[in-house]
Structure 1
Amino acid sequence: MNDNAARSPISWVPTLYFAQGLPFYAVALVAGLMFKSLGVPNDQIARWTGAIGLAWVFKPLWSPFLELAASKKTMVVLFQCLGGLSLGMIALALQTPVWFAACVAVLAVAALASSTHDIVCDGLYIASLSPKQQAAYAGWQGAFFNAGKFISLGGLVIVAGYLEKHIGVKPAWSAIFLIIGAMMLALALYHSWSLPQVRNVVVADRSMAGIGGTLWDVFIDFLKKPGIWGMIAFIILFRAGEAQVQTIGPLFLREARELGGLGLSTTEVGAVYGTAGTVAFLLGSIGGGYFTSALGLKRAMPLLILAMNLPNLVFYYLSHSMPTDLALITAALSAEMFGYGFGFVGLILFMMQVVSVGKYQTAHYAFATGVMQLGFVLFKMVSGDIQTALGYKTFFLWVLVSALPVLVMSRFMRIAPKDDGAKA
């Protein structure tokens, strides 16, 4: 075994999933706050950032073609570089007369690079770790994927708020996306050293027709899994409330109080998410991984689902109480972040250990994450229209209601990971 393969997963799992999460949240959330500062309406923000997110939905369609590459590690580094360059180009897009359309186009390229990176990233994770390690490190995986959200909404948005006041809105956000792009390039450089070298299985038929046939076989095998349609519905509904809260929640925090929001500045939103919120999320996510590893996914799932929906309750409370004390708002959002981090582990492991089990494990995990993103995008795209129609208070009540179906389904869903089955 070479030194590269012998490195502890702790040396690369956190940074690998941070590199997966950073561009996702740059597209899904940071771009939305940038557009908010530039005066774009909520419904347009939700619709276009949601549409760009379709790249993560359809990524399984090109996943088999990535098996033609000799090394998963090489592909990870390549797409991290491409994603970093694309995000940095937002700085140029903002200077054009058609800046909104240009930004949407560049963000779409970044989304394609990032979603393709996800495939090889997850494949490397699954191929490098045993099922027990997968469960143990799922907390680190989820924590650092979502750390991309809090680094963005925390430190970078604080910087954006400061720069908006001193150099203007467009120059401020140009600087922010240049920083995000540079971070991605730095991660690519580190991963060229730290990642284990995982070779792809040699593909017997390397023609387009052969790869297309493999894709069809993978797709049919996925649909033949016992109970697959229930699993698909479960995955989609798992994120129904979260997708809407993640989209509208930060916009609610920024909205003027006379319009039903909390009236926080860009800097205040960044401070709330970047301090106690970040700590709470990391504790929840890492704790959720070890909690599930100790208890087993089947027994842990009900609590994980309840924790996942804590953010919905928090925003319902904030929209009705309308607090002005920043300390109270920070405490409420910290509870939101802890619950989200703790609960998200359940969905990761459900897809990894229940849905994707079989001879096409990597490809089926890509299909599962595509289904997960489909649910996220569908609810995200309509969230702006729903919020505009209902107002913030009624919207957050709707979010609470939309989270109920998955709670009901969990009572009847068969959750039997491979390890659990072995113990039975």
Structure 2
Amino acid sequence: MTELSKNGKSVRSPITWVPTLYFAQGLPFYAVALVAGLMFKSLGVPNDQIARWTAMIGFAWVFKPLWSPFLELAPSKKTMVVLFQFLGGLSLGMIALALQTPLWFAACIAVLAVAALAASTHDIVCDGLYIASLSNKQQAAYAGWQGAFFNAGKFISLGGLVILAGYLEKNIGVKSAWSVIFLIIGAIMVSLAAYHIWSLPQVRNTAVKDKSIAGISRTLWEVLVDFLKKPGIWGMIAFIILFRAGEAQVQTIGPLFLREARELGGLGLSTVEVGAVYGTAGTVAFLLGSIGGGYFTSWLGLKRAMFFLILAMNLPNLVFYYLSHSLPSDLTLITAALSVEMFGYGFGFVGLILFMMQVVSVGKYQTAHYAFATGVMQLGFVLFKMISGDIQMALGYKNFFLWVLVSAIPVLVLSRFMRVGPKESADKPELGKSESPPAAASAN
């Protein structure tokens, strides 16, 4: 599918590349954050080591803004997107080789660290290409597709690949099973990179006069100072961190609650059952919610939609509060309840994406500032994830899920006292309606 720009040039419709681009962003993230941990668990690695090392690897996504300006040295954003998709795919596929070495745990951690660096760097150029290629209105319309397919990486991993791994473990052994899984993930990433050579729009980086390390470092400092000088920036940072307060805790403890024995307050589901719940109806509900949230925000406008988006993301957490009290055994009922929660999660997450794109990152260094914002977002997720286990152990599941609902109140209050939507003048022209790339391309 193609569209015609104002100057008559044919450009591919965003629908041909936005979904696959953000699936390629989400899959390696969840391969490192979720699938690798489950693999180590199957291989008998202690929980403390799994948590420690996967958390350390995950800091690549927190600190990725620090090297974002150096990516401006590349000729184009498309080139960098494809390059880091290939690198991420190859490194994830090498897990299969690392598993066969005597020091397999250390080898896997090293390879996963390379994959994390590639994936987090890909995030920067991926988001930069998205921002530079689409107007604010298009960003809102496709934000649902963006969020849906990023998180589809999680549900395909949990709902499909983990179930497949469980089956293969019984037939070909644990190490061989997980070797197959990571070869599949690597092959998917390489295939997406090949597809994107054809489908992605060509967005060239602006020329950089000083290409020395010192010059780029000065640019990084300038970008950071400019970011921290934004009017109301500390309120924006607080809003980003608090936006994920409830979600981070539910996404961490929710699956553990589903697996927990019934006599300990959980639902006692098996690994296969959890994968089936999240990978079938849960996936569909999340995708529909994400896409619907994007079009809802495009129709209503981010400023007027934000309060409803926050409610949509947090009110469905009542599902876990209900499940922790009723402890149903009917898998159909559990699946339906979790589908409601996942629909709301997908619908509301759009608000955070657009807030970072259209409010926080606006300015001279739009793409780099968006990278800083996503680093803050990941930091918020990590902070609430870190404390969620201690809170759950102290309160029990029932009171914990009540606490999760209370955690949404601060961001709701904050949203009423700060600007959460873009200024009208900040809207960008449609693709093809300007003679030069927008300011978003000034620094990756």
TM-score category, normalised to shorter length: over 0.9
Instruction: Give the corresponding residue for 2:126.
Output: 121
1:376 aligns with 2:381: yes
Instruction: Give the corresponding residue for 2:109.
Output: 104
Cα contact 2:159–2:277 (8 A) shared by 1: yes
Match of 2:274 among 258, 269, 273: 269
1:315 aligns with 2:348: no
Question: Whole-Å Cα distance in 1 between the matches of residues 317 and 103 of structure 2?
Answer: 36
Distance 1:173 1:265, change over 3 A: farther
Question: Whole-Å Cα distance in 2 between the matches of residues 278 and 25 of structure 1?
Answer: 15
Aligned-pair CA distance for 1:253: 2.3
Question: Whole-Å Cα distance in 2 between the matches of residues 97 and 390 of structure 1?
Answer: 42
1:179-208 Cα shifts (integer Å, max 9, x gaps): 111111110110111111111000011111
Question: Whole-Å Cα distance in 2 between the matches of residues 30 and 390 of structure 1?
Answer: 28
Q: How many residues are matched?
A: 423
Aligned-pair CA distance for 1:244: 2.2
Corresponding letter in the other structure for 2:251: Q
Match of 1:92 among 92, 97, 103: 97
Instruction: Give the corresponding residue for 1:206.
Output: 211
Cα contact 2:328–2:334 (8 A) shared by 1: yes
Distance 1:403 1:99, change over 3 A: farther
Residues 229-244 of structure 1 aligned to structure 2 (within 5 Å): 229-244=234-249
Instruction: Give the corresponding residue for 2:225.
Output: 220
Gapped runs of 5+ residues in structure 1?
none
Instruction: Give the corresponding residue for 2:79.
Output: 74
Match of 2:311 among 306, 310, 315: 306
Structure 1 stretches of 4+ with a deviation exceeding 6 A read: 1-5
Distance 1:191 1:132, change over 3 A: same
1:355-374 Cα shifts (integer Å, max 9, x gaps): 01111111111111111111
Instruction: Give the corresponding residue for 1:158.
Output: 163
Gapped runs of 5+ residues in structure 2?
428-444
Aligned-pair CA distance for 1:36: 3.9
Aligned-pair CA distance for 1:252: 2.8
Moved more, 269-278 or 161-170: 161-170
Aligned-pair CA distance for 1:261: 3.1
Question: Whole-Å Cα distance in 2 between the matches of residues 293 and 356 of structure 1?
Answer: 18
Residues 121-200 of structure 1 aligned to structure 2 (within 5 Å): 121-200=126-205
Alignment TM-score, normalising by the size of structure 2: 0.89
Aligned-pair CA distance for 1:113: 0.8
Cα contact 1:48–1:381 (8 A) shared by 2: no
1:96-142 Cα shifts (integer Å, max 9, x gaps): 45544443333222111111000000111111111111111111111
Aligned-pair CA distance for 1:324: 1.5
Corresponding letter in the other structure for 2:374: T
1:258-309 Cα shifts (integer Å, max 9, x gaps): 4443232222222111211111111100000000000011111111011111
Instruction: Give the corresponding residue for 1:62.
Output: 67
SS for the counterpart of 1:6 is strand
Aligned-pair CA distance for 1:210: 0.7
Aligned-pair CA distance for 1:159: 1.2
Distance 1:109 1:311, change over 3 A: farther
Aligned-pair CA distance for 1:390: 4.6
Instruction: Give the corresponding residue for 1:332.
Output: 337
Corresponding letter in the other structure for 2:31: A
Distance 1:228 1:146, change over 3 A: same
